[in-house]
Structure 1
Amino acid sequence: MRGQGNAEAPSEAKSRPAAATLPSDGTKLPSDGTTQLAAATSSASTALPGGTAAVRELLLALSAGFTLPSPLPDNLEGRSDLPGIIDSAIDAQLLMPDGSVVGTVRHALLTSTPVPTIHALQRELVDKLAAEGRPLGELARDLARGGLQDSRVAAELEEAADNVLETEPAMAAALYAESVLAGAKEMPKAACRAQAAAGIGDLDSAGRLIDRLLALPEPPDVRRGVDVAASVWAQRGMMSRSADTYSWLGPGKTAASAPLAAIAMIGSGDTAGAEAMVADGGSRRSPTHLAVALSLASDGLRQTLGQKPHLGLPSLIRASDMMNAAGTAIPLPEAPAVLAALCALHSGETAVAASVLKAAVAAGQGGDSMRPRLYLLQAWCAMQQDNTDDARLAINEANKANHWALAPREEFLLAALELGLARRGGEVHELVLAWDRAREAMMHVSVDLFSLLPWGEVLVAAARLRESHRVSHYLHGAWDLLERLGNPPLWSVPLHWAAVQAALLSESPTDLAPHAAALVRASEHSHYAGVLAAGGKAWVSVLAGRFAAADVETAARGLAAVGMPWEGARLAGHAAARADERRDMVKLLACARDIHPQGGHAPAEAHEESPASTAPAPEPNGLSAREIEVARLMLEGKTYREIGEAIYISPRTAEHHVARMRRRLGAENRSELLVRLRIALGEGHPPGE
C-alpha cells in the first residue's frame, strides 16, 4: 500500500520511467534473476531518495515476513521517506498495491541473501510481535518451513497443534512436524505426535514414536502414550497387547483412560483386570461428553458379559451417541459405535447395528483411522441382510477412506467379508480365491472378543472347502477366550451357530452335538439363541431326510427375522429339494422365495418343480426362462445337485430340465447339448470346438 498524502495524479504517473524488467504476473525468473533484480532496483533508484539500497531493504524485510504498514524493521520504521520508497517499489512493479512482494522478486531476494541475514530479520519480527502481544499465526508455519529455529515459534506451533489434535489430526501432525523444524525437542510432545500419526492411520510412525517414548525412564505424558500404543496394537489385530500396555501402566495411573483399559482387557478375555481398572478410575469421571461416552461404553460392554446381556446394548448405543456429539478423535482400542454394532449383530439386531454405524460414519466417530472399520461393519450388516450391492459399496468406501493401507485388523475383517459374499454367491472359484486371501490375512492377527463374527465366517468357509485344519488353532483360542469370560451367551452364540454350520458341511455329528447343546442351553435366556437352535435342529432333520415342512418353514422364517434371510432361504430351499410331498415342496419353495427375493437366482416357480407339468412358453431360442437359467449353470460346470441348490429345485428336477432341453434342441449327447446351448444362448463355440 502507498503512504498517506502521496497520492499521485494520472498525468504524473504517465510521465514516470518505464517499469522495471521483472515480471509481475507470477512467471519464474530466469537463472540470472538476482542480476535482473539488481538491474530493476537500479532503474528505480533514479526516482528515489536513498536509491537501490532502500528499496532492496524494504523488499527484503517484506519477503522475510514483515508487513505494511507495520511492523517493520527498526532501520525502516523510523524513516521519513518510507512512503516514497514504497511508491517507487510499486511503480517499478516490484511491490503489489496490497503490500506484498511480487513472487519472482521475493524468490530472488530470499535465494540471493545470506540465510543468517534473513533469520536475523525474522527474529527481529518475532521480537516485535511478542512485544506487542500478537500471535504469529500462519507466519509461524512459514518461519519454521523457512528454517528459522526459535523457541517462541516452536511453542506457538505446538500450542496450535494441541488445539486441533482431537479434531484435525492431519493438521496437528503437520504442525508438530513444523515445530520440530523450529527447534522443538521431540520427546516432550512425542505422545501427541504419535496420537496425530495414529489418527490419520500412519500406524508405523505412531508406533516408532511410542517405542522411543515408553523406553524412557520417566516418559512425559505417559498416559496418552499408552492410549496411543493400545490403539495401535488393537488396529494391528493384537488386542492382548493393548491390554498388556495398560497393565504395564498400572491401575494407579490410568485415571480417565480407565474405561479404555477395561475395553481392551475385556476384548482380550481379562475381566478381573478390567474390573480393577474401572474401580481405579471410577471416582474421577468427568461430566464431559467424551468422558460419559467412554464410561457408558465400558459399562455397557461389561453388562454384555452378565446375566442380562440385553441391557448392554442400550448403554452402548448411548455411548456411541455421546461420542458422536463429542466430535473428538482420540486413540481407542475399539470405538463405541463398533461395540454397539457388534452387540446388536450378536443379538440378531442387524437393522439396529446398521443404524448405529450410519450415524457414526456421518459424525466421523473415531476420526479417519476408524472410518474403514465403520464402513466394513456396514458392509457386514448389508451382507447379513442379503444386500450384496450395498455391501460392495461399503467395502469400496472402506478402501478409499484414507490413503494409508488398511490396518491388519481391518484387512482380516475385509477378508472375512469377501469369504461371506463369495459363499453366498455360490461361486466355488470366487470362494477359493477369497479363501486364499483370508488365509494370508488371518496370519497377521490374533483372536479377540470383537473379531468373533469374522472368525465364525472363516470357520464355515473352511469347512465348505475342507480346510478346517487350517483354522482349528485360532478357534481353540476363541473358545478359550470365551471360557475366560465365563462363556457369555451374547458373544458365544453366533460362534456356536457357525460351528454348527461347519459341522453340517463336514458331515460330522460328533462336532455338531456340543454346539447344538450350547445353543439350546442359551435359548433359555436368549431369543436369538432359540432361533439359531431351531435352525440347527431343522438343518439336521433336513439332511437326515426326516422333517416336517411346517417346522422347517418356522425355522427358516425365524432365521430371516434375526437378520439371516440368506440362511433361512437356504434352509427352505434344501428342504424343498428333499421333500417327498409335492405340497410340502411348493410350500417350502414359496417360503424361500418370500424371504430371499433378491437372491442371485430367483427361486423356482412351483409348477416348474413337477417334471410332468406343462412347461412354460419357450423364448425365441426355444428355451423357457427356467431352462435358460439351468442352461447357464450347466455351462458353468455345475452338477445337478449344485444347480438345484443354486435355484432352489431338486437335483431330479434339474435333470428333467436338462433332458427336456436335449429333446428340444435335438442333441444326441451331453457334449452336443453343451455346444447347442452355447449357440442358443448367443455364446458361440468355445475355443477348440
Structure 2
Amino acid sequence: MLVLDDLQWFEEGAVAAVLDALDSSSSKEISVWASRRPWPMSNLLQATTDLLTENEPAVRTGLLGNEEFAQIVSSFLVGAVSTKALDELHQLTAGSLSLAADAVAADWQRDLGGLPAQLVEAVTNRVVRCGPEAEALVRLLAVGPPLEVAEIVDALDDTFDRDGAERATRAGGVLAEDGLLVPLVRAAVLADLPRATRGRVHDQLAVALIQSHPIHAADSVMAGRGEAPGSERVLIDVARRLQRSDPARAIDMADHGLACGFDRSELTLIRARAAYEQGSRDAFGYLDDVPAGAQLHSTEIAFGLDIRDLRWRAAEGCPMTGATAGPLRQLASMLAGNVVELTDEGSGDGADVRLISSLASNLVLVAAGDFRSGLAGIAEIADDFDRIECDVPMGITPHAVGAVVALSFGDLAAAETLLDQALSAKSGGEGEETTHRLLHAYSRLVGGSFEEALKAVREGEEAAWSLRDRFLLAAIDAAIARRSGDTTRLREAWKRADPVLVRTSASWLFADLALELLAAGSRLGETRRVQPIADEVAAQLHGLPSSGSGEVSALWMRLQLALAGDDSLATTNACQQLSRCVGVDDRSAARVLAAAAWAAIQTQSIDDGVLSAAAQRLESVGDRWEASRLLGQAALDHPDPATARRLLEEARALAVEPEAAGESGLLALGLSEREAEVALLVAAGRTYKEVGAQLYVSPKTVEHHVAHIRRKIGATSRAEFLSKIRAATDRDT
C-alpha cells in the first residue's frame, strides 16, 4: 500500500516520480491511497490526479467526523487507545488526519500540557507552506477572537491579497469546517510567536477590526502595543460604551490607555463613571484624578455619589451644567425635604430630562398627600427608566424611590413589585443592585419574613458599600433586633449605624428606616445622639405640605422613640398631639387610632373596641409588629384576666419572629414549646424583663418558667442550666 497525503505540497520532482511509478506495469500490484486539497493545478499534479481517478472517481472527504477519524487513526497507533484520547485528538485537529499524524509523531498527550516543540514546528511549517500572506492571515486569526476567516478577510484593507490568502489558508488544511482556525494550529502559532511579534500582530488586528468589531479591536489594543493608527480613539470609544454594561472591563481599558499615554481627561472620566456604575468606593479617588479642565464633566458623577451617600444638600449644590442639571437639583431638593414649586430650569426635550423632572414632580404629589397618584406615576417612570436605559448618574433608581414611598405608606406589595422589577431588569446596573436587595429584604421583614433580612445582614458584614446601603443594612439589623427583643443585637446594630448617621443627612422619605435605628438608640439610652437626628427628620416631615401625612409621621416617630425609651411623659404628649391629627391616608389614619389606644393603655382606661380596631388597622397597612406590640402591652396592663389572655393570644398570633434554631433539641428534653422559647432567650443572655417584653408576659412569669425548666432538666445552678440548654441546642443545630 502506498499512502500519499497532501499531494499539493509535493515538489515537482516528487510528483513526477509518483506519476512514473503509477504508470509502470509493476504499479498494478500496489494499492494507492492519495489525498490533496483544492489547489492551483500544475500539469504534473493534474496528470497524477487524472491517473489516480482513471478507474475510480475521487471522493471528497475533507475533515472527518469523530467515528471515521477514530477508526483510521486507531489503525496507525501502537497499542490500545482510549475513546477519550481519540475524542481529544479529534477536537484538537478538527478531524484532520494529517494534523493527527503530526500529533501522534510528536507523542502529544493532553495531560502533559502545552505542545511538544516537534509538533509546533510541524504545524508552523504547514502554515509557512501556505505562503506569506496566508501565514499573516493565520497569525491574525490565532491572536484574535474566535472569528471566521471570512470576517477577518473582509476587514483587511485592499493592499492585502485577501482572496488569495483565504484560498491558500483553506487549501492549507488549517481551517475547521466552521471557518475558524483548527485548535491545534492556533495553539502552535501562538506558541511560536515571540511576545514582541504578537504585540505587533494585535496592533494590526485592531486596525482591521475597528469598523466591523470595535470591542474586539479594543481588546487587541489592550493586548498589543498601542501603536496602531486609531488605537487611542477605538479604546476610548469602546471603554465609554462599556462603562455601564461592563464597568470592570471599562476600568481595565482606561487603565491600559493611561499607561499608553492616551487622553487623560477622557480616560479618567470613564474610569470614574465605570467605578460609579460598579458601586465601588474607588469612584471618589478616580474623580480626584480628573484633570482640572475636565472636572465640569465629572459633576454629574459627583452628584450620583452624593445621592448614594445620602448627602442631599451636597447634591443639591452640585455645580452641574447642561439640560439635566436643573431637574437633578430639584430631585435632590425634594429628597432633602425642600418641597418647592418646580421650575423649568435646565429643562429640555431629552428623555432623560423628562424622566428626572417627572420623578421630582411625582414626589411632590406624594409629599402633598396624593400617595396613590404619586406612586402610580413613579411606577410608570420606572418602566421608562428601563426602556430608555437612562444614562444619567442619578444616584438612585425610580424603582428604589417608589419602593421607599410604598413602604412609607404600608403598601408592601407595591414595594416588592417595583424591587422585583429592578432586580430582574438590573435597573441602574451593579451600583444599585445592593440597594434594591436590601430594600426588598426590609419589605419582607416588615411583612413578617426574616429569612432574607438575616441573610442580608450575614453577607453584608464586610461589604464596602455606599453609606446609603450601610444605613439600610443597619436599619434591617436594628429592625430584626427590635422584633426579636435581642438587646445584644440591638447594640451591634447601633454600633454599625452610629458612624453612618454622623456622615449622612436626614430625609423625610427614609423616615421609617431611620426610625428603626433611632428607636434602637433610644432603647439603649443614647438620647443625646438620637435627639438631634430625630429633630431634623421631624422638621422635614412637619415642613411638608399640610395636606399630606408629614405631621402624623413626625408625631408617630416621637411616640415610638418615647415607647422605646420607656419615657411615659413623652409617650403621653405624643399620644395627645396625634389624637388631634386627621389621617389623610390609610396608614396615617391607623397610626392616629393606635395613638388613642396607647393613650388608653397609659391611663389604664383600655377600651377593647378601640384597641382591636387599632390593631386591625395597623396590620392592614403593614404595621403587623406594631399591632402585636400594642396588643401585648394591653394584655399585660389589662385588669380582666380573661380579656388579658385573649389579647395575649391575638398578640402572639400577629408576632412573627426569626425561627429559633435548637428548639427541637429542647423539646426532646421534655420542655413545652413556651418553656423552650424561654430557655433559648435566657441562654442567649436576655434578662427576665427582656424575655417578658418579647413574649408578652411578666418578668415574674419568666422566672417561674425558668424554675420549672431547671427541675425538668435537673439543673441545680444557673451555670448548669445554661450548659445543658446550650448542649441541647448545639446538637440540634
Note if 1:143 corresponds to 2:208: no
Change (3 A) 1:125 1:488: same
* Cα deviation 1:396-447 (Å, max 9, x = unaligned): 6x749xx972112111210121011012111222222222222233334332
Check whether the contact 2:279–2:430 (CA below 8 A) recurs between aligned residues: yes
> Equivalent residue for 1:613?
none
Unmatched tracts of structure 1, length 5 or more: 602-617
The residue that corresponds to 1:604 in the other structure is none
For residues 17 and 517 of structure 1, the distance between their equivalents in structure 2, rounded to whole angstroms, comes to 95
- Following the alignment from structure 1 to structure 2, what is the Cα–Cα distance between the partners of residues 49 and 421? 72
Shift, 1:513, TM fit: 5.6
Structure 2 residue identity aligned to 1:258: G
Q: Is the 8 A contact 1:327 1:364 kept in 2?
A: no
Q: Does 1:262 align with 2:330?
A: yes
State the secondary structure of the residue aligned to 2:697: coil
The alignment's TM-score, normalised by the length of structure 1, stands at 0.76
Partners of 1:521 and 1:97 in 2: CA distance:
81
1:244 aligns with 2:317: yes
Structure 1 pair 568/134, CA: closer, same or farther in 2 (3 Å)?
closer
Pick one of 278, 300, 305 that aligns with 1:200: 278
Q: 2:360 maps to what in 1?
A: 298
Q: Provide closer, same or farther for how the CA distance between residues 622 and 337 of structure 1 changes in structure 2, counting only shifts above 3 A.
A: closer
Aligned mates of 1:576, 1:15 — CA distance in 2: 87
Rounded to whole Å, the distance in 1 between the matches of 2:483 and 2:98 is 81
Q: Please tell me whether residue 462 in structure 1 is matched to residue 506 in structure 2.
A: no
Change (3 A) 1:408 1:64: same
Contact 2:636 2:698 (8 Å CA) reproduced: yes
The 1:285/1:626 distance shift into structure 2, 3 A limit, reads same
Q: 2:447: which partner in 1?
A: 385
Identity of aligned residues (%): 23
Matches within 5 A, 1:670-685: 672=716, 674=718, 683=727
> Contact conserved, 1:497 with 1:532, CA < 8 A, in 2?
yes
* Aligned partners of 1:235 and 1:407 also within 8 Å: yes
Query: Can you list the C-alpha shifts for 1:78-116, whole angstroms capped at 9, x where unaligned?
Result: 99899779877959xxx9964984324324323264x8x
| Alpha-carbon distance between aligned partners in 2 of 1:461 and 1:164, rounded to the nearest angstrom | 43
Q: Is the 8 A contact 1:201 1:368 kept in 2?
A: yes
Report the alpha carbon displacement of residue 356 of structure 1 after superposing the two structures with TM. Answer: 2.0
Taking the aligned partners of 1:590 and 1:78, their CA distance within structure 2 comes to 85
Q: In structure 2, give the amino acid aligned to 1:266.
A: M
Deviations 1:145-191 (A, max 9, x none): 21223452332343334445554444544555555567641313544
| Whole-angstrom CA distance in 1 between matches of 2:308 and 2:99 | 71
**CA distance 1:541–1:68, shift in 2 (3 Å):** closer
CA apart distance, 1:293: 3.8
Deviation at 1:238, TM superposition (A): 1.7
Q: Residue 29 of structure 1: CA displacement? A: 6.3
Greater shift in the superposed pair: 472-481 or 676-685: 676-685
The answer as to 2:504 corresponding to 1:445 is yes
Task: Please say which of residues 65-74 and 550-559 is displaced more in the overlay.
Answer: 65-74
SS in 1 for 2:317: helix
Most deviating of 363-372 and 65-74: 65-74
**1:519 maps to amino acid:** L
Asked if the contact 1:532/1:559 (under 8 Å) is kept, the reply is yes
Aligned equivalent of 1:606 = none
- Relative to structure 1, the CA distance from residue 591 to residue 404 in structure 2 (aligned partners, 3 Å threshold; closer, same or farther) is closer
1:471 match: secondary structure = helix
CA contact (8 A) 1:149 1:183 kept: no
Pick from 483, 488, 494: which aligns with 1:429?
488
Please list, as runs of the form range in 1=range in 2, the aligned pairs for 1:216-365 lying within 5 A after superposition: 216=293, 219=295, 222=297, 225-245=298-318, 248-249=319-320, 253-272=321-340, 275=342, 278-282=343-347, 284-286=348-350, 288=351, 292-306=354-368, 308-328=370-390, 330-365=392-427
Q: What residue number does 2:86 align with?
A: none
- Contact kept, 8 Å, 2:475 with 2:516, in 1: the verdict is yes
Report the residue type matching 1:589 in the other structure.
L
Alpha-carbon distance, 1:364 to partner:
1.5
Report the residue type matching 1:454 in the other structure.
Answer: L
Distance in 2 separating the partners of 1:475 and 1:137:
51
Mapped contact 2:405–2:509 kept (Cα < 8 A):
no
Structure 1 vs Structure 2 CA RMSD: 4.7
Instruction: List aligned pairs for 1:182-193, cutoff 5 A.
Output: 184-188=262-266, 190-193=268-271
Whether the aligned pair in 2 keeps the contact of 1:170 and 1:199 (CA below 8 Å) is no
Aligned to 2:90: none
1:375 to partner: Cα distance: 0.9
Q: Is the 8 Å Cα contact of residues 359 and 378 (structure 2) preserved in structure 1? A: yes
The structure-2 alpha-carbon separation of the partners of 1:104 and 1:629, relative to structure 1 and needing over 3 Å to count, comes to: same
Q: Do the aligned partners of 2:138 and 2:169 also contact (CA within 8 Å) in 1? A: no
Query: How far, CA to CA, are the matches of 1:685 and 1:138 in structure 2?
Result: 58
Contact 1:425 / 1:600 at 8 angstroms: preserved in 2?
A: no
| Aligned residue number for residue 159 of structure 1 | 237
The one-letter code matched in structure 1 to 2:332 is A
Relative distance call for 1:496 and 1:105 in structure 2 (3 A) is same
In structure 2, C-alpha distance between the alignment counterparts of 1:337 and 1:57, rounded to whole Å: 53
User: What letter matches 2:399 in structure 1?
Assistant: A
Q: Contact 2:221–2:235 at 8 Å: present in 1 too? A: no
- 2 CA distance for matches of 1:15 and 1:677? 77
Q: Which one of the candidate residues 624, 629, 632 is aligned to 1:570?
A: 629
Shift of 1:230: 0.6
Are 1:645 and 2:693 an aligned pair?
yes
- When residues 559 and 389 of structure 1 are mapped into structure 2, their CA distance, relative to the original with a 3 A threshold, is same
Give the number of aligned pairs.
630
Distance in structure 1 (CA, Å) of the matches to 2:126 and 2:674: 90
Question: Which whole-Å CA distance do the structure 1 matches of 2:394 and 2:163 have between them?
Answer: 59
Cα separation, partners in 2 of 1:27 and 1:571, compared to 1, 3 Å: same
1:672 alignment partner, SS class: coil
Distance 1:136 1:415 in 2: 44
Alignment of 1:560 onto 2:624: no
Q: CA deviation at 1:39?
A: 6.5
Q: 2:376 is matched by which residue type in structure 1?
A: P
SS in 2 for 1:226: helix
Is contact 1:201-1:404 (8 Å) kept? no
Taking the TM superposition and a 5 Å limit, the aligned residue runs for 1:569-588 are 569-588=628-647
What's the offset of the Cα at 1:280? 1.5
Contact 2:457 2:477 in 1 (8 A): no
Q: How far 1:209 moved relative to its partner?
A: 3.9
**1:28 maps to 2:114:** yes
* In structure 2, C-alpha distance between the alignment counterparts of 1:139 and 1:484, rounded to whole Å: 56
Q: Which runs of 5+ in 2 are unaligned?
A: 1-35, 50-57, 62-71, 73-96, 661-665
Deviation at 1:373, TM superposition (A): 0.5
State whether structure 2 residue 292 is matched by structure 1 residue 215: yes
Secondary structure at the counterpart of residue 304 of structure 1? helix
Shifted more, 307-316 versus 494-503: the winner is 307-316
Q: How does 1:70-219 map to 2 (within 5 A)?
A: 70=153, 77=161, 98=182, 101-111=185-195, 113=197, 119=200, 134-135=212-213, 138-177=216-255, 184-188=262-266, 190-204=268-282, 206-213=283-290, 215-216=292-293, 219=295
C-alpha change, 1:126 and 1:2, in structure 2 (3 Å) is farther
Partner of 2:22: none
Deviation for aligned residue 1:301: 0.8
Q: Does the aligned pair in 1 maintain the 2:306–2:315 contact within 8 Å?
A: yes
C-alpha distance in structure 2 between counterparts of 1:684 and 1:122, whole Å: 66
Would the alpha carbon gap of residues 643 and 60 (structure 1) be closer, same or farther in structure 2, given more than 3 Å must change? closer
User: Does the 8 Å contact 1:167/1:327 carry over to 2?
Assistant: no
Structure 1 residues 621 and 68: alpha-carbon distance in aligned structure 2, compared to 1, 3 A threshold: closer
Q: Indicate whether 1:411 and 2:411 are aligned.
A: no
Q: How many Å separate the matches in 2 of 1:202 and 1:15?
A: 49
Matches within 5 A, 1:617-656: 624-634=672-682, 638-654=686-702
